[in-house]
Amino acid sequence: MMQDHQVVFCAAASAFAGIAAVWDVRTRRIPNLLCLTAFAVGILLHFGMDGWSGMLTSLAAGLIAGFVFFLFFLAGGMGGGDVKLIAAIAALAGFAQLPYLLVFTALTGGVLAMMLILRRGALRSTLKNMGTLLGHHLRSGLKPHEELNVQNQSALRLPYGIAIAAGACITLYLQGSRG
């Protein structure tokens, strides 16, 4: 029975993340209402299937994932919509799936970023920028770099909703294949 619940949670997370990814690709924004709805559905779904403990662990998953991504937001590495989306998708997927969701989202994001870098012929400049960013963050903490941040319109930018959706779908696939 618990296995069925986990598949439902992951399927809902994948559906919302898929919608957000399409929106992100088309507009480079993730709507607040979509994130809020997904977060609320996640908490209510977990409450309906697993009671108070399900609701609390769903909330914890959302808060933890949101906090992890918030650190990247503070450093200027991602937008606020990405933070809200991962929090909502984690609340939907649930605490048991959180490590998988975060790892597969990060791995997918890395692969997509590398594909974008190679496609644009920007490997050398990206490596130089990574060194600059490392030095900057070692000196300044999470303060965004003046030029190397997501607000810079000339920077290579990846709609990270795609990586979040892929992470959710991989998590769903793995959850479904365990049954």
Domain boundaries, the chain: 2-177
64: enclosing H helix or E strand: helix 32-74
User: For residue 158, what are the contacts with CB-CB under 8 A and spacing of at least 6?
Assistant: 109, 112, 113, 116
Residue among 51, 34, 67, 53 at smallest CA distance from 95: 53
- pLDDT (average), residues 112-137: 94
Tokens of 158: 């990846």
Note whether 101 and 12 are within 8 A (CB).
no
- pTM score: 0.92
Q: Could you tell me the end-to-end alpha-carbon distance of the chain, in angstroms, rounded to an integer?
A: 10
Chain segment 26-58, per-residue pLDDT in tens: 999 999 999 999 999 999 999 999 999 999 999
Percent of the chain with pLDDT over 70: 98
Tokens of 107: 């791995």
Q: Which residue has the tokens 């929090």?
A: 87
